[in-house]
Amino acid sequence: MMTRKYVGKATAGRRGLDWRLRAAVLLLAAFGLVGHARADYTTDTVAFAASGKYDELERLLEPMAAKGPLGTRDLHALCFAYSKTKRYNLLLPCLDRLEANVKKGDRRTRLFGLEDATPAVHAMRAEALIELGQYAQGAKEAQRALKWLEDDQSDDKDMIVQSLAAMSIGSTLSGNRAVGEKYADRIAAVSTFLPQHRDYLTAKSMALARAYLALGKFDKALRSLEDDSRFKINAFLDNLVSGALFKGASNWAWVELPRAYMIHKAQKEIGRLNDAKAGFDKLLALPQIRANGEIYWLILYDRGLLAHAEGQLGQAMDLYRKAVDVIEIQRSTINTETNKIGFVGDKQAVYAQLIRAAIAAQKQELAYEYAERARARALVDLLAERQDFALPKSVSTQVNVKSLLASYRDAGREAMVQRPVDMSQGGESRQRNLVVSAGAALQSAAPELASLVSVQTPSTKEILAQIPAGEVIVEYYFAGQELYAFVLRDGHLRVARLDPTGLDGKIRDFRNQLQLRGPAAEDLARSLYTQLIQPLEADIKADQILFIPSGILHYLPFTALHDGKDYLVLRRSVRYLPSASVLRFLKPVRAVDLKSMLILGNPDLGDSRFDLPNAENEAKEIAALIPESQLLVRGKASKFAFKQFAQNFSYLHIASHGEFNGDEPLKSRLLLAKDSADDGNLTAGDIYDLKLDANLVTMSACETGLGHVANGDDIIGLTRALLYAGTSNVVASLWQVDDLATSLLMTAFYKNLMKGDPVRLALRNAQQSVKARMPHPFFWAPFFVVGQG
């Protein structure tokens, strides 16, 4: 058996190297063998890894990497540094190169005494994937690390339990609870009875607690942590050997803080509320806790929940607001502590609880502003993986906005870097100040772009000032199990709490009845009106309504709701927005007569089953109405043609199939004809790269108005992308539409536009005309207007 002494643990629960290796490094330093002006980068590499100077490790090795490919000894150290500074965009390619080295036979690494870096590659990749929310993939990588260790008959129980924990957490968080429990049981079965294995007791305890927290077995997690008799001994010895003890510092803070959070979280969940409250208060009093952002907001939130439950609304709101401040400075949805605490906090739940507390305290404006911020945060999270966006035409060419965007994202990444050596030196405050200043610079230069990458929302007064005369905003928001409606009009805000009982089921049944053209549709339309609109009737006596849905309400055709006398479409003119904050970015409608239009109809998708002959007829009829139009049908209706011509028209019409992708919203798409240049899929992601100058884009297609609804919950789909690209209005659909009815509706719609009707009135009148011929709402209700209206 060949034993590999993996001392540092790339994915270990404790910070850095263990106290014995630290002692060796310090002895080297005492004899002048470490840190001499890069005289020996080998010892520098070990010293920087040992002392947590991961940024120094990067600065040492990156110039070497720029000169040529690194061998495994140095490449492993560079990947390890990236894993600690959370530079995922550099870490994952680094691990690919490291794995390639190992496969070629270059296995030995200078870190941790490993003779083969293979398990370290899989372990670091597993950690990164879990932190990026790719739980199932992370579990698979941890399985590969474990298999290597088992095949090698390794007795490195530290790395074994870390791999098992990653497999358990990844499986549980991806929805496979039974597998998560199986691997938790395997951790519990690892023996630490023999003297040579007792140093692994802390690693086992932490790994088991993390797995149990992910499973929600808080009593077992607490027992595992409280039974660890070795933790304080190892921490003391490490701090003694390193000298930290004599400086009043601790090298173990990065494991002590998560461990303490896990203990008090478990206490809270099993009902030991006084213990949890006292523990959270002690943690919040530590200056170091602010440097650990993922732990800090969770502690603030859990302590806020305890205050909220005690009726201390002022204290709860203060704690929630501090948690939100930390959340909003963090980069996207990365959970950098998932592997340390086995728990992914729901950031949107903080907003929801703050809104509940503010409404209970009769602070309606505060509640509304945080509802808007929750939507903004959800949008930022969903767009987090996009590296670039087309710049709006309003942005000055004198400002290097892309540079400002890069600076903002770099500052956000740096704010998430975990540097043990900076914990008592104000490093976290400096980094967060950099995030704020970089965000302000981007906001000043390109506010609409800033709204996609950072939380930037106007005040209630600013939103009220943007509402046109004669219009009322009805904005819904789900706060946990509660549903609120914010009504804004005439300079005033009113908040109503609605009954959400059975709402999900009713909306699903309603949509099914609509698409089946079933007789129960009208009864459901009445019931939904009673639940969602009737309690607000005294405040929405206006001819025009701007609906801002939430959650499943995004899939509800409000114009098809019935008050017992008739459908809403016969009484009100309606438009939609994903959030009220979008009002300030909507491009004004230009005074351009509808004399020309780009029309794409019935693209040739290479399969006759997808042909839409009525869509082609529709396109030709509209082109006949508007003779100066450019008509592209069948093979000419391609993605390349759209991208080539779209920016030259104020009106665009696409009659084709559309699909929304709930798992990957930026891949929601319109299906256009293939050509030699591309596959014909015009995705939401593609549209964020376009610069349009359109008064109206009409998507006469299936499901084009649907998108992924975040738990926040700005909706991401084709419509949101088109608004950003420079479209004033988007007409889209909520379900697979009837080919003939759509042709009739669209012809009437454009005739109304040519008469001078505003977009939403033109659509409403067209829906009424189709309703007179085809009464069931299946035929006329799917289409809706997003934008200026």
Identity at 386, one-letter amino acid code: R
Name which residue leads in pLDDT, 78 or 660.
Answer: 78
CB of 380 within 8 A of CB of 452?
yes
Structure tokens at 415: 């704010």
Q: How many angstroms separate the CA atoms of 552 and 106, rounded?
A: 53
> Does the pLDDT at position 233 exceed 70?
no
**Token output for 657:** 């199939």
Strand partners, 573: 544
| Residue type for position 44 | D
pLDDT band at 251 (very low <50, low <70, confident <90, very high): very low
Yes or no: say if 759 and 731 are a contact pair by the CB < 8 Å rule.
yes
What phi and psi values does residue 474 have, to the nearest 5 degrees? -120, 105
Return the residue matching tokens 């949101």. 720
Q: How many residues are listed for the chain in this entry?
A: 789
Least confident of 163-167, 234-238, 288-292, 690-694: 234-238
pLDDT at position 714 over 50? no
Closest CA relative to residue 408, chosen from 331, 335, 324, 326: 331
Burial of 588 (0-12, 13-18, 19+ CB in 10 A): exposed
Which amino acid does the sequence have at 287? P
pLDDT (0 to 100) of residue 434: 64
518: left (phi over 0), alpha (psi -120 to 50) or beta: beta
Q: Which amino acid is at 730?
A: V
Quick one: DSSP state of residue 70?
A: P
In sequence order, what DSSP letters do the residues of 750-778 get, joined into one string? Answer: HHHHHTT--HHHHHHHHHHHHHHHS-SHH
3-state secondary structure of 194: coil
- 148-157, 192-201, 603-612, range with the lowest pLDDT: 192-201
- 780 close to 771: Cβ distance less than 8 angstroms: yes
Place of tokens 């100066």: 628
**Least confidently predicted of 251-260, 312-321, 766-775:** 251-260
Q: Helix (H) and strand (E) counts for the chain?
A: 32, 16
Question: Which two structure tokens, joined as six digits, stand for 601?
Answer: 């109809």
Confidence band, pLDDT 50/70/90 cuts, at residue 445: low
- What pTM does this model have? 0.83
Task: Determine the Cα–Cα distance for residues 682 and 453; give it in Å rounded to an integer.
Answer: 23
Please check whether residue 203 is in contact with residue 158, taking contact to mean a CB–CB distance below 8 angstroms: yes
* 700 vs 758, higher pLDDT: 758
DSSP-assigned beta bridge partners for residue 472: 545
Query: What is the Cα gyration radius of the chain?
Result: 29
pLDDT at residue 458 above 80?
Answer: yes
pLDDT class for 202, splitting at 50, 70, 90?
A: confident
Closest CA to 693 of 589, 596, 584, 601: 589
pLDDT grade, residue 422 (50/70/90)? very low
Rounded Cα distance, 165 and 686, in Å? 39
Section 283-295 average pLDDT: 78
E strands, 462-559, are 471-479, 482-489, 492-498, 544-548
Let me know if 621 is exposed, middle or buried by CB neighbors in 10 A (0-12, 13-18, 19+): middle
For residue 417, give both structure tokens.
């870097």
pLDDT band at residue 44 using 50, 70 and 90 as cut-offs? confident
What's the confidence (pLDDT) of residue 410? 62
Asked if the peptide bond before residue 663 counts as cis, ω within 30 degrees of 0, the response is no
717, pLDDT greater than 60: yes
Alpha carbon distance 172, 189 (integer Å): 19
Q: What is the pLDDT of residue 243?
A: 47
pLDDT at 26 over 80: no
pLDDT of residue 734: 81
Q: Nearest CA to 358 among 344, 372, 376, 377?
A: 372
Question: Sorting pLDDT into bands at 50, 70 and 90, what band is 75?
Answer: very high
- The model's pLDDT over 492-551, given as tens digits with 9 standing for 90+, comes to 999 999 999 999 899 989 988 988 888 899 999 999 999 999 999 888 888 889 999 988
Which one is predicted more confidently, 359 or 111?
Answer: 359
DSSP structure class, residue 706: -
Q: With contact defined as beta carbons under 8 Å apart, do 479 and 357 qualify?
A: no
Residue 100 has pLDDT above 60, yes or no: yes
Q: One-letter amino acid identity for 663?
A: D
Residue 418 has pLDDT above 80, yes or no: no
Residue 411 token pair:
């500052």
Q: How far apart are CA 209 and CA 216, in angstroms?
A: 10
Q: Is residue 7 pLDDT above 50, yes or no?
A: no
The mean per-residue pLDDT over the stretch 588-598 comes to: 80
Could you please report the per-residue DSSP string of 367-407? HHHHHHHHHHHHHHHHTTT----PPPTTS-TTS-HHHHHHH
Q: In terms of C-beta density within 10 A (0-12 exposed, 13-18 middle, 19 or more buried), how is residue 64 classed?
A: middle
Q: Percentage of the chain surpassing pLDDT 70? A: 76
- Kindly indicate the confidence band of residue 195, based on its pLDDT and cuts at 50, 70 and 90: low
Q: Which of 298, 287, 307 is nearest to 265 (CA)?
A: 298
Question: For residue 215, how many C-alpha atoms fall within 13 Å in the half-sphere facing its CB?
Answer: 27
Is the backbone peptide bond immediately before 523 cis, with ω within 30 degrees of 0? no
* HSE value, Cβ hemisphere, 13 Å, CA-based, for 770: 27
- Burial class (CB within 10 angstroms; exposed 0-12, middle 13-18, buried 19+) of 538: exposed
Q: Is the pLDDT of residue 388 over 90?
A: no
Per DSSP (E only), the strands in 408-516 are: 471-479, 482-489, 492-498
Q: Under DSSP, is residue 119 helix (H, G, I), strand (E, B) or coil?
A: helix
Residues 168-176: what's their mean pLDDT?
Answer: 93
With bands split at pLDDT 50, 70 and 90, how would you rate the model's confidence at 94?
very high
* Beta-bridge partners for 638: 673
CA pair distance 402, 410, nearest whole angstrom? 12
Lookup: tokens for 539: 């405040």
Q: What is the pLDDT of residues 563-583, one digit of tens each?
A: 988 888 888 888 998 888 888
* pLDDT(325) > 60: yes
Task: Give the range among 174-188, 225-239, 294-308 with minimum mean pLDDT.
Answer: 225-239
Report the mean per-residue pLDDT for the chain: 80
Q: How large a percentage of the chain has pLDDT more than 90?
A: 32
Q: Which of 59-68, 178-187, 303-312 has the lowest mean pLDDT?
A: 59-68
Average pLDDT score over residue span 68-72: 91
Q: Edge-to-edge, what's the strand order for the sheet holding 492-498?
A: 492-498, 482-489, 471-479, 544-548, 573-576, 783-787, 727-733, 694-699, 651-655, 598-603, 630-634
| Structural domains of the chain ordered from first start | 19-247 (1.25.40.10), 277-382+406-450 (no CATH), 460-585 (3.30.420), 598-787 (3.40.50.1460)
Burial (CB count <10 Å: 0-12, 13-18, 19+), residue 592: middle
pLDDT of residue 194: 65
